[in-house]
Each structure stands twice: as structure tokens, then as C-alpha cells.
Structure 1
Amino acid sequence: MNNYSNDNSARRYKAHVSIVGTTQLHLRNPYIIAWWSAAFPGFGHLLLSKYLRGYALFIWEVAVNIKAHVNGAMIYSFQGNIDMAKEVLDTRWLLMYIPVYIFGIWDSYRTTVDMNKVYLLAERENHRFNSFALGALEINYLDKRNPMVAVMWSLLIPGLGQLYVHRILTALFIIIWLVVFYYCSHVQEAVVLLFLGQIKEATSVLKPEWLLFIPSHYGFAAYDCYINSIENNKLFEKELRNYLTENYQSERFRLLKGQKVE
């Protein structure tokens, strides 16, 4: 494959391959990105590879959610105990939580629309980009991955699917926070007690406020690695097609209304 570096000789690049992952532009549905931001602030930005913004919103969500007891109020609401839901909410933190939560949804939607426009311009420009990165710590290159294999690993342990498709930054972030959620929710202790048939003890040991973070974490990890597997496969095929066309296709080769003309 070609080994071109993104040296700012083009206005826009479709992708960049580095030792920590492959970052690329592709068309995304703004409503889906906004939905993930609503499910968990920061997830929408991580899907866009806007890591710093995504990390900031994610950490804010965890910290302020716990302080405001939002998850605790949700649990009481699910049980139909509205009075207790109102009682546990801490309005001092809640009033800070709401604006940032709405901002995350709005900003991820706006950014997706902008990045879709940039992708269309980059696709039209079709400038070369690096497809191979070799460093002292890692090697990364464009290759095809099986999306279902990525999902399978993510459902076992979130973050493994990202390692499979070589999204190192996202993988590390997901794995670290999975450990935090596991530890704080005591979910693994509850699973062991459940296997031992001690259902009441398993229920009592759980910390529901932390437990509610885990389903979103699993869902995001599976969706992120699935989508990126598909898009990386498309990028690999496009890059290989361009390389073969440039280096092996005859200059006299033409296609006219679906017919080859020599």
C-alpha cells in the first residue's frame, strides 16, 4: 500500500492512520449521534472521534449524575415512587447537570452535520492519505475486520472490540471506566452471590446508581466497534482501489455506459 503522510498539502483528508488508531471522515446520521449523546453525554462525540470533548462530557456526566442522584431518582421513578424520586434529587447539582446534558446533545448533532459536509468535500478532493503507521510501540495499517467478531468481543468485555479494530484511545477509555463501574456497583459480587443462590444478598450488595451506567457502556462499545469495522472496511477497499487504478490500470482503459473501451 501507499505510505503517504498527511502533510497538510491538501485542504482536507478523508482519513489518518496512526499507531493509536484510524481516524476517518464518513457520513453519519446526526439523529443517531444525538441519541447516543442523550443516552450518555460524551458517547456521541466519541463516535465522531472528538475525544477530548467526549472525555470531558463523559466524566462530567458520571461526577454530576452521582452528586445529583439522577440515577437514584430514575430507579424510584421506574418503581412508581415519584415522591422518593423528588426527595433524593439534589437540585444544587441538578441545575448544573441539565444545561450540560442538553449542550452535549445539541453539539454532537451540530458537529455531525458539519463533519458530513467536510466529508463530502474531502471525498471530492480525494487526496492521498497515509495507510500504514509503524512506531516503536505499535503498528497500524488499513485492513478488513469482521464487524460481528468485533461486536462479540465487545459483549464479552467492552473495549475488546475497539482493540480488535485498533481504536486504542477509545478502548483504553472504555476499559478503564468499565472497571470503575464494576467496582463501584459491586455487580461482580452480586453475580457470584446469584450463582450461589443467595438472591437477597445479591440484590442488597448492588449499588444501583452505578449499575445503571453499565448497560449504556456495553451498548456503546458494541455499536462503536461495529460501525467502525464497517467504515474501516470501506476505507480499505477505496484506498486499495485507488492504488490499483493508479499503478496497474492502463491509461487507455475507459468505461463508457458500462462497457469497457480499449
Structure 2
Amino acid sequence: MERNPETGNYRRYLAYFGTLNINVLHLRKPWVTAWWSAAFPGFGHLLLGNQIKGFILMLWEIGINMQSGINKSMVCSFTGRVDLSKQVLNPRWVLLYIPVYIYAVWDSYRKTIELNKEWVLAEWERAPIVSFKMGGMCLNHLDKSSPWLAMAWSMLMPGLGQLYLRRIPIGFLLLAGWVGLMYFSGVAEIVLVTMAGSNVQAWYSINSQWALFLPSFYCFAAYEAYVYSVEYNKLFDKAQRQWLERSYGTLRPSFCRATER
């Protein structure tokens, strides 16, 4: 008798379906998740599906980075003002920043290796994949999506690609984060002023402390949407294959008896 993954009879599952999100196990490269954690602590954990830890590390990165002045110091270093880069740093906060930053990189690398092992075992156990979930306020289902379209939506506005894939929590987190970063950095104002033809005036309104978060935030949203779209498509194929195997297995005896007659 087939066991239902909802009952907990299987030790590992390739995917968990909720009404607001789909969390999936798949093979990842440890150095990729470590790199994203280095670019922005929390991103590596979001890639692994550890969303709560990822959210907290992201808030930590923004809060401690702003207090320590690391981004502002980096901008001063890039522009050749080395003496000023030392002055804007707050050593009290920098010492609190370094250990957690190193931990985020190390933990995402270690966790990726462990989850790759779990993926191998989950593939071997072949637990059924639930491809539909409905609740009173929301429903979720597994279908084919376009990775390039998901990435394009996230490039238009970070978070939209995740909403396209029905990854509601992380989608609205990235959307809200992008709106906040654009507002506090003044980049939205710069775009408007530049479109009006006043390029020199535009750069005086930028807040470099906030603006330095934007590149990694923008690139991660596009990359994450593309990767999960690809993995959801693979999961859809596996779910279809499981269904065909179960249906064929149950229909085969009766079909053979009918042909023998």
C-alpha cells in the first residue's frame, strides 16, 4: 500500500507543499551558496530553503552594516579616499559584524553539503510528491514555468519572479526590501532626475551606504527565480513520472487478464 507523505511515514521528501510556498531538495554547489552568503549574508540560506534564518541574517546584515559604516568605508576606498574610509568606520560595530559574517558563509557551505546527502537519500526512498495544496485563503500547485520569464520578472522588479513561481513569503520579502533600498538610497530619485536631463544634480542625492546593497540584492532575486523555476520543472517531471508508474502498476494486472481472455 502506498504511504501518504502527509502522514510522516517517509523519513525524507524531495518537496514540501504549503499553500504559500514550495520547498524543494535539489543538488547545489556548496561554493555557490557560500558566495551568495559572502555577497549578502542570508542569501545563501534562502537558496537552501532556510527562510527564517535567511530573513534574520538579512536584517542583521542591513542593521549592523549601517551602524558600522562598512558600506560607506568601501565607497571611500573605491574612490581613493583611504583616510576617510578609516574615519567613517565604527570599530564597536565592526567587531560585532565580522564573526556573524564568517558564520553565515561557513554555515551555508556546510549546510549545502549536508542537504546534498539528504537529496541522495530522498531520491532513493522515492517518497510520493504532493503536487497540489489548497487552503481556505490560498492554493498552490506544481506546473511548468519558464525560467527566463521568472528571471525577467525579477529583473523588472525583484520579488516578482518569486511571486510568479508562487513563492509568496520570499517574493514579498524581496519586493519590500527592494522598495526600501531604492527609497533610502535615493536611486529612484536619481533615475527621475537623470531622465529630466540633469545628470550632475542626480549624483548629489545618492546615499552610498544604502546604494551598495542594491547590486547583490538585484542579482540574487534574478538568480534565485531562475534556479527555482528550473528545479520546479524537474520536480513536475518527477511527479508526473511517479503518477504514471503508480497508474501503470495498478492497471497492468487487469489489462493482462483482459488480453489473455
| TM-score bin, normalised by smaller chain | over 0.9
**Contact persistence 1:6–1:129 (CA under 8 A):** no
More helix by share: 2
Helix, strand or coil for the counterpart of 2:140? Answer: strand
Equivalence for 1:206:
206
Helix, strand or coil for the counterpart of 2:130? Answer: coil
Counting only pairs closer than 5 Å after superposition, residues 3-22 of structure 1 correspond to structure 2 as: 4-22=4-22
Q: Distance in 1 between matches of 2:204 and 2:127?
A: 58
**Displacement, 1:17?**
1.2
Cα 1:205–1:70 shift into 2, 3 Å? same
**Displacement, 1:170?**
0.7
Q: Deviations over 1:203-236 (max 9, x none)?
A: 1111111011111111000000100000000000
Helix, strand or coil for the counterpart of 1:6? Answer: helix
Counting only pairs closer than 5 Å after superposition, residues 2-151 of structure 1 correspond to structure 2 as: 4-151=4-151
**Contact persistence 2:5–2:127 (CA under 8 A):** no
Cα 1:9–1:249 shift into 2, 3 Å? closer
Helix, strand or coil for the counterpart of 2:210? Answer: helix
Q: Deviations over 1:154-192 (max 9, x none)?
A: 000000000111111110110111111011111111111
Helix, strand or coil for the counterpart of 1:92? Answer: helix
Helix, strand or coil for the counterpart of 1:205? Answer: coil
**Displacement, 1:6?**
2.4
Counting only pairs closer than 5 Å after superposition, residues 144-163 of structure 1 correspond to structure 2 as: 144-163=144-163
What is the letter of the counterpart of residue 140 of structure 1?
N
Helix, strand or coil for the counterpart of 2:179? Answer: helix
**Displacement, 1:248?**
2.6
Identity, in percent, stands at 44
Helix, strand or coil for the counterpart of 2:201? Answer: helix
Q: Compare 97-106 and 135-144 and name the one that shifted more.
A: 135-144
Q: Deviations over 1:214-261 (max 9, x none)?
A: 1111100000010000000000001101111110358879xxxxxxxx
Q: Distance in 2 between matches of 1:10 and 1:250?
A: 22
**Contact persistence 1:65–1:97 (CA under 8 A):** yes
Q: Which runs of 5+ in 2 are unaligned?
A: 254-261
**Displacement, 1:5?**
4.8
Equivalence for 1:257:
none
Helix, strand or coil for the counterpart of 2:22? Answer: strand
**Displacement, 1:129?**
3.1
Helix, strand or coil for the counterpart of 2:28? Answer: coil
**Contact persistence 1:6–1:16 (CA under 8 A):** no
**Displacement, 1:138?**
1.6
Output the TM-score relative to the length of structure 2. Answer: 0.93
Output the TM-score relative to the length of structure 1. Answer: 0.92
Equivalence for 1:174:
174
Q: Deviations over 1:115-145 (max 9, x none)?
A: 1111111110011132100112221111110
Helix, strand or coil for the counterpart of 2:7? Answer: coil
Helix, strand or coil for the counterpart of 1:158? Answer: coil
Equivalence for 1:195:
195
**Displacement, 1:67?**
0.6
What is the letter of the counterpart of residue 210 of structure 2?
W
Q: Distance in 2 between matches of 1:109 and 1:37?
A: 9
Q: Distance in 1 between matches of 2:7 and 2:129?
A: 9
**Displacement, 1:58?**
0.4
**Contact persistence 1:30–1:112 (CA under 8 A):** yes
Equivalence for 1:164:
164
How many residue pairs get aligned? The number is 252
**Contact persistence 1:153–1:161 (CA under 8 A):** yes
Q: Distance in 2 between matches of 1:137 and 1:211?
A: 37
